[in-house]
Structure 1
Amino acid sequence: MNFPILFSPLKVGPYQLAHRVAMAPLTRMRAARPSLAPRPLNADYYAQRATPGGLLIAEASPVMATGFGNPGVPGIWSEQQVEGWRKVVDAVHAKGGIIFLQLWHVGRVSHSSFQPGGALPVAPSAVAISSEFKAMTWDGKVAAYEMPRALETDEIAGIVAAFRQAAKNALAAGFDGVEIHGANGYLLEQFLQSRSNQRTDRYGGSIENRARLLLEVVQAAIEVWGASRVGVRLSPYGVANDSGEPDPMPLYTHVVNALGPLGLAYLHFIEPRSSGAGRAEVNWQNVPSAMVLFRPIWQGVLIAAGGFSGEAAEAAIADGHADAVAFGRIFISNPDLPRRLQHGFPLTPYNRATFYGGEEAGYTDYPVYDELAPA
C-alpha cells in the first residue's frame, strides 16, 4: 500500500513536487486578534505538515478588511499580517516545503459585526443567504445572515485592486504562489452564479459577464506573480454557503475554457461529495465528479479535493482524472500524512470540535506516527 503514483514527482509551475499529496486550504481561526496576523503557533502548525517537495496551500486569507466573515482568520492586507505570514513561510521553507496562499473575499458570507463601521457585507446583488444557514459574529456567536449590499459597478475595480495588492503582499511574505478562491459560495463564486448574481451591468446577466470578475482577479494575480505561480479553486457542483448553479456545466465550461490558455500553475476542484464538509460530516451521494467532468477540457495540472482516501487518490491519478490530490480533514489530525499514506501507517481520527479557534489543542498537538509507537 505504498501508492506509487501518488508518490511520484509532479511539475507544478516552476516547482518540482516530490509527491502528489497536497494540503488543502483549511480555515482554522487561530490568528492573533484584533490584528488577524499569523502568529508563531501558526508557523508551528504549517511547519509540522511540510515535507521536502510537498505542496501546502495555506488557509484562505481575506484580501481586505471588508472581505472576512469568521473570527480569527488571518488576513493579507496589512504589513503586520505580511510579517506574520513571513514567519510561517520561512518555517515551511526550512522543511523543504512549497507553500501557496489562498486569496479570499467572502462577500455576503459575513456579518455586520466584522465590517468597518458595522456596515452590511457586500455582494454582487442584494440577495441574502437562506435562513437555513447561520452566520458567525465577531465574538463567535451565531446569527442570521443579513441582506448584503450590492456593490456599485464603480466599486468592483477596488475589489480587483485589493486582490492585486494581496498578491503583492503574498509575494513580499515569501510565498511560492497564490491560489484564487473562486469556490464555496464566496464573493467570486457569488458573481459566477445566477442565483446570487442578479446584476444588469457588465458583471451580470450572461455567463461571460458573470465570469468577468473572477477572470479580472486571476489576471491581476498573474500580473504580480506570472501565470505559472497562480492557481484557481472552483466548486462547480458545490452547495456550501447557499451556493449552487441550476445548470453548472455551461457556466463552468466557459470558466475552465477561459482559464485554459493562461498557463496557470493548476486548477483545483472541490468534489461535490464534500461541499460544506468543514461544518458537518457530509458525503453527498449520486453527485457528479468535477474532476471527471472537467478533466477533458483542462490540459494543465488538475488538483482534486474532497473526501479522498489514499486508495481513491491513487485511483484518481492512475485513471487520469487528476494530477494531485489535496487532503483536508485528515491532514489536520495527521501532520505526517504523506509518510503515513506512503507506508500504510494507521491514521489518527480528527476531532471536529477543535477545527475552529482555540490554541494548541487539535491544532499542533496531533502526534506523528513515531510518537505513537510503543517504547
Structure 2
Amino acid sequence: MVLSDSNLFKSIKVGNVTLQNRLVHVPTTRLRATEDHVPTDSNLEYHDQRSKNNGGLIIYEATGANENFGFYPNQPMIENERQVKSFKKIVDKIHENGSYASLQIVHVGRAFNPQLAKKLNLPFVGPSSIYINEENENESKKENIQLKELTKDEIKIIIKEFINSTKKAINEAGFDFVEIHGAHMFLIDQFLQTVSNQRTDEYGGSIENRARFLFEIIDGCIEAVGADHLGVRLSPYTEFNGGLGIKSEINPIVLWGYILSELQKRANSGNELAYISLVEPRLQGDDWEIDEKTSKINFEWPRYIWKGIIIRAGAFLDEKVIDKLEESINSDNKLLIGVSRPFTSNPDLVNRLKNGYPLTKYDRSKFYNIMQNDGYITFGSYGEEDDHSKDDVVPKPLA
C-alpha cells in the first residue's frame, strides 16, 4: 500500500511544533536502560535510526519519576542528573534529525512486581488494597508484602512527583512533550476504574472523584509547563492488568466520555492538551493477537467529544486492519496514527509506508531482552542488510 498521497504524509501542528507526517512511534517498553535506570548508547542509536528522514513524533518508552513509582527491570527513569543528561543526548539527536520527542511518564501502582518491591523495600501501593488477581495476591503473601491503599498525603506526593518529572523532561532534557500514562491499568487507570478503586473519600466513588487524581496531575503539569507540552494516554477498553474493558458494569463510554469532556472544557478555556493518545479496542495490553470481539467496537465516539489532536494506536499495520489505515487517516484532519512493534524492525518505517515498500517482520522473542542489542538496533533500512556487529556489545550509560 503506497500512502504518499494520504493525510499520513501531510504536515500537522501539534502543540507548539509542526510535524512533517502523522505517523507516531508510540511507546515500546524495551528494557535497554542500565540497572540504575540510565538511558544507554543503544537507546541513543535506536532513536537516531528511527528519527532520521522522519520529521514526525517519537514517544519514548514508559519512564518513572523515581523508583517509588514502581518499574520493570532496566526501565528508564528521569530523577537524577545522570538520567536527565542521558535523555538530553537522545532528545538532541532526535531534534538534530528533524524529528520531535515526547516522554511517557508512568506510575505502575499495584502492577509492580511484589517480589521486587519486597527485595528493594519499595512501596507496593494502589488506590485500594485490591490485587490484580488471585495469583498476584498469593505471590504477595508469599513475599510477606501487603498491597497498601494510598493515603491522601501519599497521593499528593505522587502528584508533585509527576509534576517535577514533567518539568525535568521539558525544561532540562528538552522533550517537546510529556505524555501522562493514564492507560493499561497502571496507577492512574487504577484510580479511574471501580474494579481497582473502592475508596470512600474524594478519590473514590463517583466518576468525578475517581478522575480527580488524573486531573490534579494534568492541571498541575499544565501550570508547570503549559498544556501545549502535554499529552495523555487512555485505554477505555483494556482488559490488561485486571481491567474489565467492555465487561465493566458501566459502559466505558460513560467514564471516558466524562474524562474527554473535562479535557475539552480545559481546551475551551485556553488549556488544550497537545494530544490525546487512545489505544484501540482491538488490542489488549501485551496480547499480540487482535481480539475479534472488541475489534468490532465502533471507536469513533471520542471524536464527538474531543476536538483536538488524537493519536489512535493499536495494530494499524496488521494485515487484518491495514486496509482501514488510509480510510481512518483521511477521514479526520486532526488524527495521527500510532505504531510501535513494526517500528522495532523497520527503522525507516516512514519511508517504507510512503513508498509501499514491504515491511520486515518484528521478532517479539527479542523485545524484552534486557541490555542486549540483538533485536533492538540490528535491523536495516529497506534494501540494507541487518547489522549484527554489536550483538555482543554491552550497552553503556550515556552519562
Whichever residue aligns with residue 12 of structure 1, its letter is: V
- Tell me, yes or no, if the aligned pair for 1:335 and 1:368 is still in contact at 8 Å: yes
- C-alpha distance 132-330 of structure 1, shift in aligned 2 (>3 A): farther
SS at match of 2:77: coil
- Tell me, yes or no, if the aligned pair for 2:115 and 2:143 is still in contact at 8 Å: no
How far apart in 2 are the matches of 1:168 and 1:321? 30
Using the size of structure 1 for normalisation, the TM-score is 0.92
- Tell me, yes or no, if the aligned pair for 1:133 and 1:144 is still in contact at 8 Å: no
Q: Which residue of 251, 255, 259 maps to 1:255? A: 259
Instruction: Look up the match of 1:39.
Output: 40
- C-alpha distance 89-335 of structure 1, shift in aligned 2 (>3 A): same
RMSD: 2.3
Q: Which residue of 301, 304, 314 maps to 1:296? A: 304
- Displacement of 1:53 in angstroms is 2.2
Percent identity, aligned pairs only, is: 38
Whichever residue aligns with residue 311 of structure 2, its letter is: I
Higher mean C-alpha deviation, range 287-296 or range 231-240: 287-296
Structure 1: gaps spanning 5 or more residues: 138-142
Q: Which residue of 57, 60, 69 maps to 1:58? A: 60
How far apart in 2 are the matches of 1:152 and 1:349? 46
Instruction: Look up the match of 2:164.
Output: 165
| Residues matched between the structures, number | 365
SS at match of 1:2: coil
- Tell me, yes or no, if the aligned pair for 2:34 and 2:371 is still in contact at 8 Å: no
Higher mean C-alpha deviation, range 293-302 or range 186-195: 293-302
Whichever residue aligns with residue 60 of structure 1, its letter is: A
How far apart in 2 are the matches of 1:301 and 1:114? 38
Whichever residue aligns with residue 284 of structure 2, its letter is: S
- Displacement of 1:71 in angstroms is 0.5
Using the size of structure 2 for normalisation, the TM-score is 0.86
- C-alpha distance 120-63 of structure 1, shift in aligned 2 (>3 A): closer
Q: Which residue of 126, 131, 134 maps to 1:128? A: 131
- Of structures 1 and 2, the one scoring higher in RCO (CA 8 A, sep 6+) is 2
Check if 1:274 corresponds to 2:283. Answer: yes
Whichever residue aligns with residue 74 of structure 2, its letter is: G
Higher mean C-alpha deviation, range 205-214 or range 215-224: 215-224
- Displacement of 1:313 in angstroms is 2.3
- Displacement of 1:69 in angstroms is 3.0
Whichever residue aligns with residue 275 of structure 1, its letter is: Q
How far apart in 2 are the matches of 1:283 and 1:134? 29
How far apart in 2 are the matches of 1:217 and 1:234? 14
SS at match of 1:203: coil
Instruction: Look up the match of 2:345.
Output: 333
Higher mean C-alpha deviation, range 300-309 or range 77-86: 77-86
- Displacement of 1:121 in angstroms is 1.0
- Tell me, yes or no, if the aligned pair for 1:23 and 1:328 is still in contact at 8 Å: yes
SS at match of 1:174: coil
Whichever residue aligns with residue 344 of structure 1, its letter is: G
